[in-house]
Each structure stands twice: as C-alpha cells, then as structure tokens.
Structure 1
Amino acid sequence: MTRQPLRLAILEAERVLSAAGVASPRTDAELLAAHLLGVERTKLMMVPLVDPPVVEALQALVRRRADRIPLQHLVGTAHLGNVTLSVGPGVFVPRPETELLLAWGLATLEGVDRPVVVDLCTGTGALALATAHARPDAQVHAVEVDSQALAWARHNIDQQAAAGDTPVRLYAGDVFDQTLLMELEGLVDLVLCNPPYVPEGTPVPPEVRDHDPHGAVFGGRDGLDVVRQVVGCAARLLRPGGGLAIEHDDTHGGSVPALLKARRVLADVEDHADLAGRPRFATAHRAAPEL
C-alpha cells in the first residue's frame, strides 16, 4: 500500500470545495483533514504522508461538505471563547462573529465579584458556557425555548461540568413570557443574547437555509420580533449598572440601538461592528435609579 502526500489530498479537496462555492475552501479542507487525523490544523505539516484509506475518507467528507453540509456538522463541534461545543442537526451553530459580543460581556464583568449572568436564546449553550468557563465564580443561567436545542444545551452543559467547569443552570423558557426568571428581577449583572434576527425572506447560504433551524435564524418580517422581547426581558432582569449585549443583523445598526434607547431604564447605548466592519451587536447598561 503506497502512502500518498497529504498536501496533494488537501489541494484536491480545496479545488472541489472551491468549485462548490464553499466560502473558505482551503480552511475547510485543512480542518477536515485535521479532524480525520486527530491532530490540530497547525500540526498538519508534521504528517507528510497518509495511507490511501485516509485519502478516501477525506474525499468522502469533502463530497459532503461540497453538498453544503456545515463543516461543524461533519466534525461534530464548534467553538466559542475557550469552550468546545457539540453541534449537529436541530441546533444553531455558533459563529465567530459572536466572539466580540462575548469579549464585551466578560470585560463588563471585570471587578464584579460572583456575577449573575443570563444567556437568553442559548441554543447550544455557547455564550453561557464560555462565560462560565472564563468566570468560574459566576452564577450563569441559560434559557432556550426549542426542545431540540435544549437537548444539545443540556449535553454541552453536562460535558463542561464533567470537565470541571461551574455548572450552568438551564431553563426551558420563552422570552415572550413576561414572568420568565422572575426570581432574578433586578439581580442580574449581565444579560447576553444571540437571538434569531435575520429578516424573513433574506437570502442565506445553503448551510444556513438547509441546516440551521429556521426559528433560530429568522426573527419575523423585520428580524426584530424576538429582539423586542429580549430588550424588555433584560430591562426587567438587570440590576442598576448591569450590562446587556444583543447580537443583531447587519441591517439593524440603527434599529436595535433605537429599541434600547426607547427604554428609559437603559443607558450608555452603543452599537458595535464585527471584524468585517458590519454592525453586529448593541450594548447598554441599566441606569442607576433617580434620587
């Protein structure tokens, strides 16, 4: 059995993925190879030759990726902050854009001892778990309405707890429920949310259209149906000085800050761009009570 150069197999994988319209063909080819070999992507150069069955397995994975099955579904994981999350059909795959929102939230918690954090629309549990990992002293609550997403979140929370992280408290709940987390009203230091926010009818890539749950992506005609409820829920939960960060569509750079400013109890409203310079998330703080 003649061993084959891994470099050539990756080049062929890149060619196939590029022809299929995959946005990052070289990166995806290397990540699929690293997944198969059980090494980090940066260590691929240390594997110059592979057996033919490895090349065949890589080709099979590449064909599935060329069919626009999400890379994360093929490797079974996604990442946010310093945590690795199990993902697959039935749950929204965390995106790199959310890293900046997480960083803002963690910066807001600096100097706060044993903070109380709520992650609304948690999906896989990504923001909640990344926060709990970075702040072991935090009391983190995660809320999700969809039963399939709840199962993925529970699995990820159990995995992280087994690895030694502070357990996240998971709730089956709906941000449209005015009584959600009533026991935490006025006590929360940070509310984070990556809600469904894409306006209905917006063209999206096949990976999103065919594999992310519709209800986790689209937020009504203007994309703001869930965002409006999140703003109200957060205003009720936050303590004076507590922070709020909501991810939004790149068409919402004006509308989401306007929703925050419309709440008299919220102040310091700002909008933030992603690494591509597009409007991506809005933040605010709960104002101190008037004397």
Structure 2
Amino acid sequence: MPATAVVRSAAHDLRAAGVDSAVVEAQLICAHVLGIDRSALPLADAVDASGLAEIDRMVAARIADRTPIQYLLGRAVSGRLDLAVGPGVFIPRPETELLVEDALAALPAPGDGPGPVVVDLCAGSGTLALEIAHARPDARVHAVELHDQALDWLRRNAAERAAAGDTPLVVHSGDATDPGILAELRGRVDAVVSNPPYIPRTDDLPAEVLGHEPATALFGGVDGLAVITPLVGVAAGLLAPGGHLAVEHDEETGASVASVVEAQGRFGTVEQHTDLAGRPRFVTATRLGDRDDDDELDPTVRKGTTR
C-alpha cells in the first residue's frame, strides 16, 4: 500500500478515536516505521506487510489506552535535542524551553577560566541538563535523579549526547531533597535548575498523562509543593553567592512557589515567569550573601522581591 494511503487510513482511525493532531501523529508513526523523515513520506515507497502490521499495532496502542505518541516512537523533542523516552520517565514539554534559555542567559560568559557548574535536580530524562551541556560545552553539568527507570533513560540520553560530541554529564543517583546531596559542590554552583514533581494531587489529567507517565514525576503532594519546598533549601546550599535558581511549577502555584523561595531566606530578586502560552510556569531567584549557609542573614535582606 502506498505510504500516503497508509497515513490517510491511520489518521482516519486516530481522528475517529478522538486523538488530537491525528494527521501529524499518523505521519510520525508511519515515518518512524519506515525509518524516514516525516517530510519524505510523499515520496516513500509502498509499505510492506510487516510495516503495515507495525503501524496498525502502534495506532491501536494509541487508541486503546492512549499510550503517549512519544512512548510509541521512543523519542521526544526537547528544544534543540531529540531524546529517548519511554515508560517510567516524564516526557519533556515545550513549556520548559524558556526555563532553559533563562538559565543559559544567567550563566557567566565563556572565558579563559573554568566553565560554570550547573546542577539539575529531579533530572528525569535529562532534558534540562543535556540542553545546557549542549549549549555550553564549557559547563560542568550534574544531573540528579532518584528513580531507577528514569535513571536508565537519563543515562541512555547522556551517553547518546556524549557520543554526539556534547560535554558528558555527571549523573548522580540520589534524592534531590536530601540536604546532603552533592555535598562536595556546596557553595560552588553557578546555577541550579529543576523541573520537579509539582502537580497538586488530582485525577483530572489526560489519559495519556495519568495512565502512563510516572506519578513520582508528576505529583508534588496535595499543594504541589512537597518536593519544591525542600528542594529550594538544597539549592540554597549548593549555589555560590550570586548563583541562579530556576524551578518549574504548576500554572496555579506560581505565587506559592515564589513565597517558598522568599521564605527560605537566602534568595533575592525572586521573579515569576510565564511559558510560551503565557501561563505562569517557573520561578527564578539569585543566591544572596557571601557567608556560610548556616549563618543567619540580616533580616533586611531575608526577603526578595517578586514580580
């Protein structure tokens, strides 16, 4: 059967099942099975029986239980990169791209000295850490992830990007809320970035998300702050004075996250930012002071400014 006819048939089935972007997804599935770029489909050869069977299998999985298209393809676009994803790891979203750009802009400019040190807490597939390492080859980027399945994807992506020529990540298995994590970097980090579990506990999520992506990567307790609150304290200990913090959050919790960062006491210039769709998406702040973390800060500088 001609590839164009296969795409039309798959798109019809996906659309009938209520799948959004049915034509694009049909094209992605067919191109994946044929091993070609989506743009090459109009000129593709006919799809043989084994190819048809695989396309039918993937379309059926997309329809039957809403398996995410990224899991079916085994890949997800992450800004400048294409990363491996699958069951057990959070799927990168476009909403995170502005956080990456913010963090890159906050890093010291490349120079003759050592490059910046960056830490990604709750790294998941590695999207933040790998984007930064790709854009700043001089950076030493550390990625921390707790859960075994996500760690497997993180290590796979780190190995792929290193093989492609990017500066290798330093991958750590550990709890991003542990005050002792990365103790050897305490006070030496130029930027801490994080896309932690932050959704307030709910059952009101699409089947693609709730039925497939790991709850440990999605939910941040009843208020969405269960991971963010201790993580902000960890970041404060890791960052050097003047270091940059960027934390993604649920669109309903921006003010609460900003308050958490302010209340921590070691950050100033706390700012709220929107994503590409104009929704509240991440908070940034600058590490105050030049004293040890255990020192009490002057009350006049304990609270940052929010806008």
| TM-score, normalising length: structure 1 | 0.91
1:41 aligns with 2:24: no
Counterpart in the other structure of 1:150: 151
Q: Which runs of 5 or more residues in structure 1 are unaligned?
A: none
Equivalent positions of 1:188-267 (< 5 A) are 188-267=189-268
- Give yes or no for contact 2:203–2:210 (8 Å, CA) kept in 1: no
The 3 A distance-change label for structure 1 pair 279 and 191 is same
State the distance in 1 between where 2:268 and 2:18 align: 43
CA shift at 1:112, angstroms? 4.9
The 3 A distance-change label for structure 1 pair 103 and 42 is farther
Deviations 1:216-274 (A, max 9, x none): 11111111100111111111111122111111111112111111222332122221222
1:109 aligns with 2:110: no
- Give yes or no for contact 2:193–2:245 (8 Å, CA) kept in 1: yes
State the distance in 2 between where 1:271 and 1:46 align: 47
Counterpart in the other structure of 2:56: 59
State the distance in 1 between where 2:71 and 2:274 align: 28
State the distance in 2 between where 1:127 and 1:69 align: 24
State the distance in 2 between where 1:265 and 1:126 align: 27
Of the three residues 10, 14, 20, the one matched with 1:13 is: 10
Residue 93 of structure 2 aligns to which amino acid in structure 1?
A: R
Of the three residues 49, 73, 76, the one matched with 1:75 is: 73
Identity score, percent: 49
Query: How many residue pairs are counted as aligned between the two chains?
Result: 288
Deviations 1:4-56 (A, max 9, x none): 2x333223322222232323222211211221122222332333754455444
- Give yes or no for contact 1:7–1:48 (8 Å, CA) kept in 2: no
State the distance in 1 between where 2:15 and 2:223 align: 33
Residue 222 of structure 2 aligns to which amino acid in structure 1?
A: R
Other structure's SS at 2:187 match: coil
State the distance in 1 between where 2:241 and 2:110 align: 13
Q: Which runs of 5 or more residues in structure 2 are unaligned?
A: 291-297, 302-307
State the distance in 1 between where 2:83 and 2:24 align: 19
Deviations 1:107-128 (A, max 9, x none): 2125154010000001112211
Other structure's SS at 1:99 match: helix
Other structure's SS at 1:244 match: strand
Counterpart in the other structure of 1:31: 28
Deviations 1:146-169 (A, max 9, x none): 122112212222222222221111
Residue 4 of structure 2 aligns to which amino acid in structure 1?
A: R
